[in-house]
Amino acid sequence: MKVGAHVSISGSRVSSDEETPPYNDIRNAVHRQRAFGGNCGQIFTTSPQVWAQPEISEAAAAGFREETETQLEGPWVIHSAYLVNLCTPKEDLRRKSKESMQAELDAAAKLGVPYVNVHLGAHTGAGVEGGLDNAAGVIDDLDVPDDVRILIESDAGSGTKLGGEFEHLAGIIDRTETDIGICIDTAHTLVAGNDLTTPEAVDETIGRFNDEVGLEYLEYIHLNDSKHDVGTHKDEHAHIGEGHIGEDGMRAIVNHPDLRDLPFALETPTEDGRGFAWNIEKVKELHEA
């Protein structure tokens, strides 16, 4: 099973054979992932709360690639900055979003990471069709490196944010000339109005996704339980099996024949004395060999 967590790259890494760089070291992600019991996962390359360019030394990138190959099953996915809004009608935000995405795509190529994950963002008055047109325009303006694929993440669907409906995900695939994929977040999918609480509900939701979007586009899953119920559009993650999806739903998801071989990355909370290690172990318990 390919399961891991969204881990931090924070902190410098001291080495005897090179100068320690004055920024975070990407190699920290590998040993943190192993410490949590994961074998794949997700990272930010820089702070997601500001417009910042990834700063990754050649030595750190080479070390990350080597340690990933020898110590993890992979694959990694890079999560774009939270500020990125592909759907925006605002030219300045569009420009900044494009520049940020290009930097992440270039970092992915440097690190040997096959995916960059991004939310569609909010159309802020442009409307659903206009927002999807805007997003496709940004994506097609990017220079996507070989062996890197953009993944559009499903959203909780609050306000004018797009991606909460399968129709939005199909719409962006139809509009862009770029070979993009999809990352489904289970908590987002639930609160956007899709039942995942029983094996029957999981089957029905996956069937609708296949009919409307196509399972051939699904590349990664953010595996999160939810503190809020179906259709509430409230994005707050819970420990695996202890939210509104529950153990029955989570067991059905991680063992579903159309999903079980995909990589799962957890974005579960650290609270109640439990964190990523507890949640990864819980997923492994639910997964049937």
How far is Cα 6 from Cα 25, in angstroms, rounded to an integer? 15
Could you write out the three-class secondary structure of 171-194?
A: HHHHHCCCCCEEEEEHHHHHHCCC
Instruction: Provide the residue ranges of all domains of the chain, joining segments of one domain with +.
Output: 3-286
Q: How far is CA 246 from CA 119, 228, 259, 286, in A?
A: 25, 11, 17, 11
Amino acid identity of 207?
Answer: G
DSSP 8-state secondary structure symbol assigned to residue 27: T
pLDDT of residue 289: 54
pLDDT in tens, 53-83: 999 999 999 999 999 999 999 899 999 999 9
Q: Yes or no: is domain 3-286 CATH 3.40.50.2300? A: no
Residue 11 has pLDDT above 90, yes or no: no
Strand intervals (E) in 233-286: 237-238, 264-266
Q: Tell me the pTM.
A: 0.94
pLDDT in tens, 21-40: 434 689 999 999 999 999 99
Residue (of 188, 197, 144, 187) closest to 169 by Cα position: 188
Cα 154-78-109 angle, rounded to 5 deg: 130
How far is Cα 274 from Cα 258, in angstroms, rounded to an integer? 29
Cis upstream peptide for 75 (omega within 30°):
yes
**Length of the chain as a residue count:** 289
How far is Cα 186 from Cα 20, in angstroms, rounded to an integer? 39
Band (114; pLDDT cuts 50, 70, 90): very high
Q: Taking all residues of the chain, what is their mean pLDDT, rounded to a whole number?
A: 94
